[in-house]
């Protein structure tokens, strides 16, 4: 029996745009298990980013319940949400969001300083292939390199769940594969849960399960018995 890390129960999210109410998420329910890769796939406006933000504790749901390791998240308690983000969740953003005033190593060390049991920052920088650029500032790195730093930063916290928002959205195909390989290796080597949102259907091939989103609803879930490694996917 696989351990449930996240359990969403009828999650909904409404936004008010002027007088009109937009239902970004409608009664979305699912479970995410320890150590699996979940790709959330869907067109623009399907609600996948909103869902990821709710899972990451940076957005509150309008309704429903989200449990992390069997405990409900208290949307009203900003302190506990910060603690949740700090201890259990790692983020990788489409536009990297590195701190420009810190070097590669320091960006990673910053995250390491937030948890009691972080990974070794230098080792992670080496793992993402940037040990020779450890003392460079983000402005001197290419997009792919910046994303690798962002991944190292996210991993360094030793999070239970890594949430990736279009991690390859701003990268060329070759660099995208390198980035996905990093994420895949992390998942396989450390048995950490990985959630990736993307509109690129090819990425779904590396997932254990794929959540298809449409119009704010979870349309279907597809399981892969034998997910591919990024290198095995035909990206052409």
Partner 1 sequence: MKLFTRNTFRMAKKNKGSFLGAVFVIAIGIFVFVAMLDTLQNLKGQVDSYYEKNGLADIFAEVSGISAVQLDALEELPGIKKASGRLTKDVRILAEGQTEMASVHLLSAGDGEEEADSLNRMTRTTTKNTSGTQDMIWLGKRMIDACGYEPGDTLRLLINGVSHEFILAGSVSTPDSIYSIPSGGAMVPDGETYDIACIEKKRMEELTGSGAMLTELGFLLEPGYTYEDIRGSLSDALRQYGLISLTGREDQASYDMVSGEVDQLISMGTILPVMFLSISVFMLYVVLKKMVDRDQSLIGTMKAFGLTDRELMASYLMLGAAAGVFGSLIGGVLAIPFGKYMFDMYVEFFNLPDTVYHNYIGTRIGGTALAAATGIGAVYLGVRDILKINPAQAMRQRTPDLKRTGKLPDLFERHLKLPAKMAFRSLLRNPFRACLIALAVGFPFSMASVLFSFRSVADQMYFDQFDKIQTFDFELTLDRYESPVRAAESGLLLDGVEDAEAVYSGAVQLQNENRTEFAMLYGLNINSSMWKIMDIYRTVFTPPAGSVILNERIAKKLHIKRGDQIRISIPGVTVRETTVPVADIIAESVGSGCYMELASMGDTFGIPVPANAVLLKTAAGSRETVKQKIMETNRVTGLVDTGKIVKSYQEMMGSMMMMVDLFAVLAVAAGGVLIYNISMINIRERVTEFGTLKVLGQTEKEIGLMMLLEHMVSFFAGIFIGFPGSFGLKVLVEKIIVSDSYTIDLIVKPPAYIEAFVICLGIAALAFLAEMKFVRTISLTEVLKERE
Which residues form the interface with partner 1 (CB under 8 A)?
A: 49-50, 53, 56, 58-59, 82-83, 85-87, 89, 91, 93-103, 106, 109-111, 113-114, 137-140, 153, 157, 165
Q: In terms of CB distance, is 6 or 54 closer to partner 1? A: 54
66 - beta bridge partners? 8
The residue among 50, 156, 164 whose CA lies nearest residue 96 is: 164
Q: Closest CB to partner 1 among 137 and 235?
A: 137
Q: Locate tokens 């949307």: which residue?
A: 75
Nearest to 90 by CA among 197, 192, 216: 192
Q: For residues 74 and 39, what is the distance between their CA atoms, to the nearest angstrom?
A: 25
> Which residue, 172 or 232, is less far from partner 1 as judged by CB?
172
Q: Is the Cβ of residue 113 or residue 231 nearer to partner 1 in the bound state?
A: 113
CB of 170 to partner 1, least distance (A): 9
- Rounded Cα distance, 195 and 120, in Å: 23
Shortest reach from residue 28's CB to partner 1, in Å: 16
Q: Provide, rounded to whole angstroms, the least separation between the CB of residue 89 and partner 1.
A: 8
Q: Least distance to partner 1 from the beta carbon of 125, Å?
A: 16
Which residue from 56, 12, 229 is spatially nearest to 154, judged by alpha carbons? 56
**Token pair 């208290």 is at which residue?**
74
**In the numeric block, which tokens belong to residue 144?**
């792919």
């Amino acid at each position: 029996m696989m351990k449930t890390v996240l359990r969403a129960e009828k999650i909904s999210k409404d936004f008010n745009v002027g007088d009109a109410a937009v239902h970004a998420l409608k009664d979305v329910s699912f479970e995410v298990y320890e150590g699996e890769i979940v790709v959330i796939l869907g067109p623009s406006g399907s609600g996948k980013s909103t869902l990821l933000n709710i899972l990451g504790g940076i957005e509150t749901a309008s309704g429903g319940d989200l449990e992390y390791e069997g405990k409900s998240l208290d949307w009203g308690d900003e302190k506990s949400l910060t603690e949740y983000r700090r201890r259990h969740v790692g983020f990788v953003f489409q536009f990297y969001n590195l701190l420009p005033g810190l070097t590669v190593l320091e960006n990673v060390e910053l995250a390491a300083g937030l948890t009691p049991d972080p990974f070794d920052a230098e080792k992670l920088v080496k793992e993402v292939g940037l040990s020779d650029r450890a003392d460079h500032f983000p402005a001197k790195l290419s997009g792919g390199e910046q994303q690798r730093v962002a991944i190292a930063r996210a991993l360094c916290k030793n999070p239970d769940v890594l949430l990736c928002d279009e991690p390859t959205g701003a990268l060329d195909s070759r660099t995208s594969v390198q980035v996905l390989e990093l994420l895949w290796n992390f998942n396989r080597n450390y048995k950490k849960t990985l959630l990736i949102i993307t509109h690129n259907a090819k990425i779904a091939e590396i997932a254990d399960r794929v959540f298809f989103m449409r119009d704010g609803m979870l349309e279907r879930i597809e399981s892969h018995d034998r997910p591919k490694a990024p290198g095995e996917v035909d990206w052409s």
